[in-house]
Amino acid sequence: MLFRQLFDRETATYTYLLADEQNGEAVMIDPVSHQLERDLKLLNELNLTLRYSLETHVHADHVTSSGALSAWTGAAIGVSEAAGVKCAHLPLTEGGVIPFGRYRLRVLATPGHTHTCASYLLDDQMVFTGDALLIRGTGRSDFQSGDAVQLYRSITGKLFTLADHVRVYPGHDYHGFTMSTIGEEKAHNPRLAGKSEGAFVAIMNGLNLPAPKHIHEALPGNMQCGLNVGLPLPDMDHLEVDVAWLQAHRAKVRVVDVRDRGEFEGDLGHVDGARLMPAADLTHLAAPLAKHAPLVVVCRSGRRSLAAAKLLRKQGFTRVWSLAGGMLAWRSAPRERVTV
């Protein structure tokens, strides 16, 4: 299995990339909004197809990039059902299975840091614990829907029932650790080793931590899969975006080209990463795309794409625009750096 542990220094957040290198199907866990370009570039370089973008919970300290990752790659967003995140495609519950290639992640409900926290178990080998179990620590339980008793029971009654050899990959680390094992945390986690429920609750109640710095932007941002962050979308009163807008936001929107294959592969070429969906088959081909992810439709001159954008809006796509001037305008505009 291909495995990458990615780190965001600003928020000390780990993002995990797992993939079956045989067929290239991949899963990301807890992607961070300001690392979107890094993550898209990596997926591209490793030639991976992102199937799922999963959250361990609705984060209070950073904003997810799941909405933009989904817009770009078509990945389904998975968040605990109880979180009520409307832009998620997969409402996850205990025992749920997330397949990618030859592998499976199993959902373990591990509430307590928040009441919707999930951990993901890979084949009794690795567990991604989010902010429930950290290395030599735990997530806090004093805001959102945290509950120290619930956290103690999730860890001791569920995570600590896994085999001792299972490797623990947390959502954050502030001390330079990268991984641990269930056995190691049972023996050495100072909040848990030899501690009763009452002792644990007393420790948690005595922490007196300051509120996370970005909580007021992070929570509403994450309830919208991060789609309202870093992507100033044009007004829905407009049906078109111009070339400069698409150049500036290329990494964060999906581009659908409604010409036929001959034009798509012809002299004018196509926008890098665009998906070919000829106008005649558009209704059928676009059906599986996420309805709320930003989408720009392209054709040769902008006329067919305008009609296609209107059609897609009628079909329930809420963030779709046509590229004014089409490929003729795209090709004649000064080329800016294409980041992905």
Residue 82 or residue 241: which is nearer to Fe ion going by CB?
A: 82
User: Strands 76-80 and 49-54, how do they pair?
Assistant: parallel
Residue 79 or residue 329: which is nearer to Fe ion going by CB?
A: 79
With the C-alpha atoms ordered 88, 90, 96, 99, is the resulting torsion angle positive or negative? negative
- What minimum distance in Å lies between the beta carbon of 158 and Fe ion? 18
- What minimum distance in Å lies between the beta carbon of 185 and Fe ion? 18
- What minimum distance in Å lies between the beta carbon of 107 and Fe ion? 17
Q: Which residues between 47 and 66 bind Fe ion (CB under 5 A)?
A: 59
Tokens coding 315: 């079909």
Residue count at the site for Fe ion (CB under 5 A)? 2
- What minimum distance in Å lies between the beta carbon of 117 and Fe ion? 8
Distance CA 180, CA 203 (A): 22
**Which residue's C-beta sits nearest to Fe ion?**
131
Distance CA 184, CA 201 (A): 21
- What minimum distance in Å lies between the beta carbon of 59 and Fe ion? 5
Q: Which residues between 109 and 148 bind Fe ion (CB under 5 A)?
A: 131
Residue 25 or residue 131: which is nearer to Fe ion going by CB?
A: 131
* CA angle, residues 260, 265, 267, in degrees to nearest 5: 110
| C-beta of residue 16 within 8 angstroms of C-beta of residue 26 | no
Residues in the chain: 340
Residue 186 or residue 214: which is nearer to Fe ion going by CB?
A: 214
Question: Among candidates 111, 107, 114, which has minimal Cα distance to 90?
Answer: 107
Residues that bind Fe ion (CB under 5 A): 59, 131
